[in-house]
Chain A
Amino acid sequence: MKAAALLFALAGTLAASAAVAKDVTLLNASYDPTRELYQDLNAAFAAQWKARHGDTVTVRMSHGGSGKQARSVVDGLPADVVTLALAYDIDALADRGLLAKDWQQRLPDASSPYTSTIVFLVRKGNPKGIRDWPDLIKPGVQVITPNPKSSGGARWNFLAAWGYALKQPGGNEARARAFVRELYRHVPVLDTGARGATNTFAQRGIGDVLLAWENEALLAQRELGKGKFEIVMPSVSILAEPPVAVVDRNAQAHGTRAVAEAYLQFLYTPLAQALAARHFYRPRSAQVAQQYAAQFPRVTTFTIGELFGDWRQAQAKFFADGAIFDQLGPGR
């Protein structure tokens, strides 16, 4: 609430100081690992908007866990746009009337301008010889992944493992259950979020393999010492699609709809796509992807839509109270 008041006050001062050109402020509620990405994207968008329209756009950021950010918007955080880790969290906003139910059809590529995938981060030299998903359930291998019930990002990890098992020859629901059950038996610590899990793996030295978003794994490799960790790309993984949307009700109230829409469309331009790639997110644009091909090895991926219908269904089937994760998870 205080932040909101401060923001209004700030917006007010900015508006008052505007003489000729219009000053616009957008608030983007995003999840944690996009901090550096949006710093660059916002600057690039502001420069482009200024050149085209003469107006100054300031995009303010709010970062936090994806689910927490969605709840903040539900509870009144006046975000004009949300850029979160999974569609389920934006669906929750749509359920409460903050934006149209068909929000995911409003932008190309299921409203996800950049993607990532789930990879394995292993220790230097890959001492346990981890090459693919079945290696994770070998005796003596410990896997670090956050709790999918408290981390939106970790739900992609769970679904990646499930999807792998399903896609094997003769794969079916029962086999997927068995594989995932065994996998979570190898998890000694269930952190509440992705950064916590990275910390447990990298700093505390727990576990042999960290299930991570590719962008986080690449970042960890760069930040925590190039020689200390290696990235292993599994044979098949999930296409993680972090979606973006204009929060209709807030944009309407602030009169920022046009800018907010332009901001999100900007994310699909070659300039923004290259910035995304530089921050280790896989670009949607084939041309930009070509330029960064060395950074992103080829991997076979499946989407939520292909295997699970949509996020609402996946959430209900796997992560609701008493659903599959509760039946199979560690501690059982």
Chain B
Amino acid sequence: MARRLLPGYGLSLGYTLAWLGLIVLLPLAALLWKATGIGMHGLLALLASPRTLAALKLSFGGALVAALVNAAVGLLVAWVLVRYRFPGRRLFDALIDLPFALPTAVAGIALTALYAPNGWLGRWLAPLGIQVAYTPLGVLVAMAFVGFPFVVRTLQPVLASLDRGVEEAAHSLGARPAQTFVRVILPVLAPALLTGFALALARAVGEYGSVIFIAGNIPLRSEIAPLLIVQKLEQFDYAGAAAVGIAMLVFSLLLLVLIGLLQRWSGRWAERAA
């Protein structure tokens, strides 16, 4: 039997399961239990209503786009922070975590103040016919903001441990820079990139505090799914609120499973590339 780092396999496993149960599974079970009040018929009617559909579409569609943007920009930022030395690098590096630390309501109010038609950015965008605050675009901006650190932070350690010798070898074997990036670097980064993407996506899907201030919250247009939950609670409709929550949970789970599959596939891709 291999030597284990942590003492007591049974004990540590027991703690892990108990903790997981307490922190994750118990609240989820409570959610399911609360939702039973609505019944299958009620659930289907709720999910088929145009308002629920529009809200789910905005929450998941917006989160997907925001996570994609974060993946692209996050990769770039991580690359710059790891590979280049420039004055203020450490400060920039520290700033990345700010969206984690900022209370989401503060982020929402700050973003709205920036992008409102009388805001610093909004006033330059308004003459161009671009309205960000109080539109679905504003929802996207807030989602991108809160999800940004995930991609950078998951990529940084992988990038730092990347052996530059491999790139040089590729170069000396005649690979063009683009080829080196796509065939040599990207396969190694892909699993971490996907993890960052998944985290950013999950965070954006469930985001309420920052989005609510910038969204405008017009039904069918700029209403996110978590807002529907809040509105149901306002009517003391616990079952309905839980049902929307479960719909979000199921979608999120499907997405995360999909991303997990992609990750496994990309892991094999990396092995082949190596």
**A contact set with B: CB distance below 8 Å:** 65, 67-68, 70-71, 74, 92, 95, 147, 149-152, 188-192, 196, 199, 203-206, 315, 319-321, 326, 329-332
Contact = CB atoms under 8 A, between A and B. Distances in A.
Contacts of A204: 112-113, 116-119, 133
Given A191-B217, A204-B119, A67 B234 contact: yes
Contacts of B220: 331-332
Secondary structure of the B contact surface, majority rule: loop
B117 A196 contact: no
A203 B220 CA distance: 26
A311 B235 CA distance: 12
B231 interface: yes
B196 interface: no
Secondary structure of the A contact surface, majority rule: loop
Contacts of B232: 321
Nearest to A192: B212
B102 interface: no
A99 to B, nearest CB: 15
Interface of B: 51, 109, 112-113, 116-119, 133-134, 212-213, 216-221, 223, 227, 230-237, 240
Contacts, number: 77
Contact of A67 (B109, B213, B218, B233): B233
14 contacts: A71-B233, A74-B236, A149-B235, A150-B231, A188-B218, A191-B213, A191-B217, A192-B230, A204-B133, A206-B117, A319-B235, A321-B240, A326-B219, A331-B220
Given A321-B232, A326-B219, 6 more contacts: A188-B134, A188-B216, A192-B230, A206-B134, A331-B218, A331-B221
Nearest to A191: B217
A203 B117 CA distance: 11
Contacts of A326: 51, 219
A150 B227 CA distance: 8
B234 A189 contact: no
A192 B227 contact: yes
Contacts of B240: 321
Contacts of B133: 204
Contacts of A320: 235
A88 B230 CA distance: 17
Contacts of B213: 191, 196
B216 A190 contact: yes
A192 B219 CA distance: 12
A189 B217 contact: yes
Looking at B109, B217, B232, the one whose CB has the most chain A CB atoms below 10 A away is B217
A207 B171 CA distance: 60
Nearest to B223: A331
Nearest to A147: B217
Given A204-B112, A204-B116, A331-B221, A150 B230 contact: yes
Contacts of A149: 231, 234-235
